[in-house]
Amino acid sequence: MASITNQGQAPQSQAELLYQAQLRKERSFRTHVGVSWAVLFFILIFLFSGQNIQLGSFRFETIHLDTEFILKNLTFIAKGLGQTLLISVLSILFAMTLALLAALGRLSSFPPIYAISTFYVSLIRGTPLYLQIFFFFLALPQLGVNLSGVVAGVTALGLNYGAYMSETFRAGLSSVGKGQREAAMALGMTPGQTMRRIVLPQALRFAIPPMGNDFISMTKDSALVSATGFVHELMWRAVKVGRAQFNSLEALIMAAMFYWVLTLILTYFQGKLEARLSKGDR
Amino acid sequence: MSLPIVKVSNLDKYFGRLHVLKNIDLEVSERQVVCLIGRSGSGKSTLLRCVNFLEDPSHGVIEVDGVKVEVEKKGKERRQLIHDVRLKTGMVFQEFNLFPHMTVLENVIEGPVTVKNMDRKHAIELAELNLDSVGMLFKKDEYPMRLSGGQKQRVAIARALTMEPRVMLFDEPTSALDPELIGEVLNVMKKVANEGMTMIVVTHEMGFAREVADRVIVMSDGELIEDATPEELFSKPKDPRTKALIDRYRSGEQ
C-alpha cells in the first residue's frame, strides 16, 4: 500500500522495505521494554503500598510504609544529596589526577617511577575500599593526623578510584597507535611535545566514557563514607533518622530512591556524551 | 655530480639476533629521486627509517645535509643531532598517520608551530600553499576521518613539506591504498620530484620507479645488490634476484 500511495513515485526498493521492517522491529522492541519497565515499577509500588487484599479465603497485606515519617524527613535526607555530589566530584577529580600520573608512571623506563606506580596500584587494589576509608578516619588520628570528614573521605575515595582508573588511562594511552608517535617524532617533536600534543588528547578522549561510568559508581560508593559518621551525606542521614525513629525501612527506601534517580540522570547524560564522542570529528 | 645530501656509511642494524642491515653504504645527491625496491623483509623500510632515526641503527654513520650522526655515540649531543636530522627530513608513512583529533590544516601547521615555533599566521600561509599544491586545500577544515586514503596521503605529504625539509622520505606511500587511489598520490609525488626535492622512496610501484626515479636501488637480505638508472635496471638487470623481481612485476602487470 505504502509504495502505491507514495505520490506516484517508483515503488520502494527491496532494500528500503527491509530497512523499514528492521526499524519497525527495533522500535517495537523498545516500546515493549518501556512498557515492561512500567509494569515492574508498578509492581514495586504495589508491593509497598500497604493494601489489604482479600481473594476468597486468601487474604494478604502488602508492605505498609509510614507516610508521615517519609514526609517529615524528606528534606532532612534530601539535604545529603549536596554532600554526596560534593564528595563524588572532588573524589573523581583527585582520582583522575592520580590515575593519569599512575598511567604515565607505568610507561616510564625509569625503574623507581615505574615501581611507585605499580606499588600504589597493587596496594590499593589489594585492600578493601571500606578498610581504606576507615584508615583515613580512624587510623590516622592515632598518628596525630586529624582530617576533616570530607577531606578524609575524598582522600580515601580518590586514592581508591585513582588506582582502578589508572587502568582506564593506560588503555587510553595504548589505544594511540605507534604510528602517531612516529609521525610526531618524524616532525621533530620531543617526547614531551608528542605526549602533550598528540598522545594525551587522543587518550583522554578514549578514556572519557569509562570515566563517566566511574563517576556514576563513585556517587554510590560515597555511601561507604557515612560509616564513619563524620560526613552527613545521603546514606548517613538515612541511617540516622531511620534508627532514631525505628523507621529504617522507610529511610533506606528513600535514600535508595535518591541514589537511583541520581544514577538515572547521570546515566542519561553519560549516554549523550558517549554518543557525541563516538560520532563527529574523531 | 653535486655533493651527497644523504650519506649512509657502514650502517648495520640488528633486530635482536637478526642482522637486517648489513654494512650499508649509500649516497644520495641533491635533487635526486632514489627508489628502493626489494621483496618484503629485504630491509628497505628499515634502512629508510634509520635515516631519520625512527629505527635506531646498531652502528655506522648517517649524515644528512651536513649533520653527521655517529650512531654509537650516546648522550645529549646525539639527541640534538637526531633532532636536527629530523628537521631536515620529511617522512610520509604507509599508514598516513595523520593526527585524528586535528583538522587537515591543524595537522599541517602542527610541526611548524610546535617544533619550529613558527608564527601561526605564517604557518597557515605556508600550509595553505602546500595543501593547494597537493590539491587538498578544499578540505582544510575537515577531520582526517572524513577523507579517502588517497586524500589522507596527500595531506600527509603536505604536512611533511610544510616543515620545509631538505629530503623527503617515503615509506611505501601507496601500499595501504585502494588501487584506484594510487594514481593521485603518485602524481603528487611526481610533482614534488619535479620541483627539485631530494627523495628516497621505498615502493613496490615499479611504474613510478621507472618513470620518476634517477636511480633504482635493489635490496635483498639487508644488502644493496644493485644500484642503477631505471633504464639499465629494467632492460638488463645484472643480479638474478633483480631479474626475478622485475619478472614478477612484469607478470603481475599483464
Predicted confidence (pLDDT) per residue in B95-113, tens digit: 999 999 999 999 999 999 9
Instruction: Please list the residues that pair with A58 across neighbouring strands.
Output: A55
Q: What's the angle, vertex CA A140, arms to CA A136 and CA A144, rounded to 5?
A: 145
pLDDT of A61: 86
Find the closest chain B residue to A201 by CA distance. B101
| pLDDT of A263 higher than 50 | yes
Query: For A231-261, what is each residue's pLDDT tens digit?
Result: 899 999 999 999 998 999 999 999 999 999 9
| pLDDT of A1 higher than 50 | no
Dihedral-angle region of residue A50 (phi above 0 means left; psi in -120 to 50 means alpha; beta otherwise): left
pLDDT of B175: 94
Query: For A49-101, what is each residue's pLDDT tens digit?
Result: 888 888 888 888 888 888 899 999 999 999 999 999 999 999 999 999 999 99
Q: Which residue has the cell 576509608?
A: A133
Enumerate residues 75 to 94 of chain B having a beta carbon within 8 A of any beta carbon in chain A. 83, 86-87, 89-91, 93
pLDDT of B233: 93
pTM for the structure as a whole: 0.81
Strand boundaries in B93-182, DSSP class E: 167-171
Query: For B162-214, what is each residue's pLDDT tens digit?
Result: 999 999 999 999 999 999 999 999 999 999 999 999 999 999 999 999 999 99
Q: Which of A184, A188, A202 sits opposite B83 (nearest CB)?
A: A188
Mean pLDDT across A250-279: 90
CB contact under 8 A, A183 and B91: yes
Name chain A contacts of B90, Cβ cutoff 8 Å: 186
Name chain B contacts of A190, Cβ cutoff 8 Å: 83
Name chain A contacts of B115, Cβ cutoff 8 Å: 187-189, 193
A269 against A230, higher pLDDT: A269
CA-wise closest residue to B78 among B109, B95, B48, B57: B57
Mean pLDDT across B215-241: 94
pLDDT of A35: 97
The DSSP secondary structure of B95-108, one letter per residue, reads T----TTS-HHHHH
Query: For A144-172, what is each residue's pLDDT tens digit?
Result: 888 888 899 999 999 999 999 999 999 99
Contacts of B127 (CB under 8 A, 6+ apart): B105, B108, B109, B112, B140, B158, B162
CB contact under 8 A, A202 and B100: yes
Query: Contact at 8 Å (CB) between A173 and A203?
Result: yes
CATH homologous superfamily of A67-276 equals MetI-like (1.10.3720.10)
Confidence at A282, pLDDT banded by 50, 70, 90: very low
Mean pLDDT across B32-41: 94
Confidence at B128, pLDDT banded by 50, 70, 90: very high
Lowest-pLDDT range of A109-118, A223-232, A250-259, A262-271: A223-232
Q: Which of B97, B114, B116 sits opposite A183 (nearest CB)?
A: B97
Q: Is B173 on the interface with A (CB under 8 A)?
A: no
Residue A248 has a CB neighbour count (10 Å cut-off) of: 14
Note the ipTM here. 0.94
